[in-house]
Amino acid sequence: MSTRAHQAKLRRRELTRLAVAVEELPLSSPRKGWISSIRRAIGMTGQQLARRLHVDPSAVSRLERSESKRTITLSHLDRAAEALGCRVVYALVPNEPLDDTIRARARAAARRLRKPVAHSMTLEDQSLGREAAQDREEILAEDLIGKLDPILWEEDS
């Protein structure tokens, strides 16, 4: 396994641990968004927030609407959070462990790569048995993972 692949594997494991921790948090966004909800909870008016942000009060309304529509930018969210005495916590949580994602992609890539060879061998009456073919695919998949081959992310055709 290359140094790059080894480091990526360690990163995947750390990110999986972080994702599990984040996933366990009972978080859901308030219906009107965090900015509006926190602002109201601490008794701050829209005008007061506007002054802290050095913007027109109508900009606060647009900011709060954009957050509730999920079109707000992270930089605007950061500025609003700071003005409210908060910080933004941002995460992407994988739907499955990253090692499983890589393994599935590697298996699919190995099947794609072996398909033309297997077809040629069948035409020449040299096909391998099912188990031998699966072994070769598995070895190729492990090799692709070990090299972090970019072919892992090529789309199936």
Q: How confident is the model at residue 66 (pLDDT cuts 50, 70, 90)?
A: very high
pLDDT for the residue 116: 64
Q: Which of 29, 151, 145 is nearest to 90 (CA)?
A: 29
Residue 46 sits at φ, ψ, to 5 deg, of -60, -35
Report the share of the chain in percent with pLDDT over 90: 43
> Is the per-residue pLDDT at 137 higher than 90?
no
**C-beta of residue 35 within 8 angstroms of C-beta of residue 64:** yes
Mean pLDDT of the region 10-15: 88
**C-beta of residue 60 within 8 angstroms of C-beta of residue 46:** yes
pLDDT for the residue 25: 78
156 φψ region: left (φ > 0), alpha (ψ -120 to 50), beta (else): beta
Q: Is 122 exposed, middle or buried (0-12, 13-18, 19+ CB in 10 A)?
A: exposed
